[in-house]
Structure 1
Amino acid sequence: MTIERLTPGVIVELDDPVMGGNKLGLVDESGVGYFDLLDDGEIPKPIQAEFNPRSLGPIETWIGGVPPERREWWVQAWRELSRRRLDILTLARALRWGLDNQSVDIDLIEQMGREASQRIQAGRKQIAQAFSGGGR
């Protein structure tokens, strides 16, 4: 296992070995760990090179890649999602999905962010069941 170091506080995209596909995480203050959920008692997981981590940078830099004529909409979308009290990772997942899919439906963007966070929680349940013997 090779551990990588990234800038603390940035969003990282990694392969998800449990659920398949990719997942987003928040790099911890050490730069060698990340959180994929922000619940009480969470501990960071190591940023393993085997999961192909890719720094996406801070969320505020993502808007810079949007065509100028759409930037104001994305700033407003970010504000609206923030008002909806999404945690920072669900917010990041929502915005990333919206940007990747060029969606301007704020409710759909929120839904996809929530579903991405629920996928992480489902993966956790699968792991817990496997270790408790309930996955047999």
Structure 2
Amino acid sequence: MTIERLPPGEIVELRDPVMGGLKLGLVDETGIGYYDIHADNELPKPIHSELEPRSLGAIESWLGDLDPAFAESLTKAWVELTRMNLDVLTIARALRAGIEQNITVVELLESAAQEATDRILEGRKAVRDALPGG
């Protein structure tokens, strides 16, 4: 296994080996680890090449390639999500869902982000349950 290095603070998309599909993470300050959950006492996981990491850049960079009207609506939704005091990973998941599904309704974005977070937490539970004494 080789470790990838990405720009610290950027959002990374990775293959989720436990639950399948893709998940988002936040590259840590070293550039070789990522967080997939924003919580106290979280430790970064290594960015292994086997996870096929793809840097998505900073969240604000995502709007540049969008249709201007859609980008404006998504920016307004981003402001509302920020006012809700959501963490950066939840906001990133919400905005990616908006871009991928062409939605800007704040409630739908928040719901999509929560579903993505729940999927990661379910994966962690599956791993714990598979371990002896889990």
Aligned twin of 2:113: 113
1:106 positional shift? 1.8
1:12 aligned onto 2:12: yes
Aligned twin of 1:23: 23
Aligned twin of 2:132: 132
Aligned twin of 2:70: 70
Q: Deviations for 1:49-87, whole angstroms, at most 9, x for unmatched residues?
A: 001000000001111121112222111110001112211
SS at match of 1:110: helix
Unaligned runs of 5+ in 1: none
CA RMSD of aligned residues (A): 1.0
1:133 positional shift? 4.0
Amino acid at match of 1:81: L
Q: More displaced, 16-25 or 124-133?
A: 124-133
Equivalent pairs, count: 134
Summarize the alignment of residues 34-73 of structure 1 with structure 2, pairs less than 5 Å apart: 34-73=34-73
Residues in 2 aligned to 1:132 and 1:120: alpha-carbon distance in whole angstroms: 21
When normalised by structure 1's length, the TM-score is 0.94
Amino acid at match of 2:45: K
Q: More displaced, 64-73 or 28-37?
A: 64-73
Aligned twin of 2:102: 102
When normalised by structure 2's length, the TM-score is 0.95
Retained in 1: the 8 A contact 2:27–2:35? yes
Amino acid at match of 1:101: Q
Aligned twin of 2:2: 2
Residues in 1 aligned to 2:116 and 2:132: alpha-carbon distance in whole angstroms: 25
SS at match of 2:24: strand
Amino acid at match of 1:77: A
1:12 positional shift? 0.2
Residues in 2 aligned to 1:2 and 1:58: alpha-carbon distance in whole angstroms: 24
Residues in 1 aligned to 2:130 and 2:77: alpha-carbon distance in whole angstroms: 39
Residues in 2 aligned to 1:91 and 1:69: alpha-carbon distance in whole angstroms: 20
Runs (4+) of structure 1 exceeding 2 A deviation are none
